[in-house]
Amino acid sequence: MSSNWHDDAKRVAAGIRRRVLEHTINNNGGYLSQACSSAEILAALYTGIMNLGKPSTPLIPKPFPGVPGPYNKEYFTGGEFNGPHTPEYDRFILSPSQYALVLYACLIETGRMDESGLKQFNKDGSSVEMIGAEHSPGMEVTNGSLGQALSQAAGIALAKKMKKEAGHIWVFMSDGELQIGQTWEAFQFMVYHRLDNMTVYVDVNGYQCDGKMTSVMSIEPAEKRFESFGCTVTRINGHDLNAIEAAAAAPHTDRPLVVLCDTNPCEGLPLLKIKAPKFHYLRMKNEEEHRLFAEALNNMKGLPGGTAGGI
């Protein structure tokens, strides 16, 4: 891979943090720590690792098409933001759609979604939902209920194997999902049926809705759990692009590959530490906090990739 790819990923990662921070300030709320922890993972997947087709121009999200059903012929998924579904292209499945805002920012930074799309975020009648679903940009299965998307991704991977299609299935998961029984049912299936056309990146940021995971329900030792399930597993620094890239290339014949990415929920935004351990959804408590985060945003805009001038 060329170094250009890493430069691009760095720019995208910085853009993800900046856009999500700006959005969080403007809306006085957002899933900000998730952007800080996963920015490099998503940036690397989209800029250098996955083999996705690309829309010819950045897409403007369509309005919510109405609930799916037998009489709704207008229904669509957000899969088109990830390019066409052809046998040879890869597929990307975001499992925790609490990361929706992060993914939207990533789609903008990688030229897949028009930046005006973020203005529709969480608005009535918009498909750019706060906790996205399969009609939201970049999503194509029901992923809001944690633990269900991995099984669906395994079904998609299985279908690809049965049809002898080449494309790989990339899944992004949160560490909280490792607490869910169904997750392990799915890995059991993926291993038994040798779904080596699947790679799962897990954002191990160590926090969940109720706080620090080690104070709620520990998932450690995570890599040993995956090993004993028969996955090929590697554990890396989830902010290190070299490590993220190397992990994707790890041989995993006959086995699914799991990449545990240790990440920092405040990476790139040290100020966020003042909210510890309440990282799940950020709200500014008062004017002073608001001012501090606005200042941090201004500093970010001066950094490489920080596209001064904003959205």
Can you give the binding site for other proteins, defined by CB under 8 A?
Answer: 67-70, 72, 75, 133-134, 140-142, 144-145, 147-160, 162-163, 181-182, 185-186, 188-189, 193
Q: Which is nearer to other proteins, 159 or 308 (CB)?
A: 159
Residues 6+ apart with CB under 8 A from 23: 30, 101, 105, 118, 121, 311
| Nearer CB in complex with other proteins: 69/302 | 69
| CA separation for the pair 55, 139 (Å, rounded) | 15
User: How many other CB atoms are there within 10 angstroms of residue 119's CB atom?
Assistant: 13
CA distance 182 to 179: 9
Q: Report in angstroms how near the CB of residue 229 gets to other proteins at its nearest.
A: 13
Considering the complex, state which of residue 181 and residue 309 has its C-beta at the smaller distance from other proteins.
181
In the complex with other proteins, which residue's Cβ is closer, 74 or 288? 74
Min CB(153)–other proteins separation in Å? 6
What type of residue sits at position 137?
P
Assess contact for 93 and 140: CB atoms under 8 A: yes
Phi and psi torsions of 211, nearest 5°: 130, -155
Least gap, CB of 46 to other proteins (angstroms): 22
**For residue 204, what are its two tokens?**
């191990």
* Smallest gap from residue 65 Cβ to other proteins (A): 12
Least CB distance to other proteins at residue 68 (A): 4
Give the residue with the Cβ less far from other proteins, 67 or 288. Answer: 67
Q: How many Å separate Cα 251 from the centre of its chain? A: 23
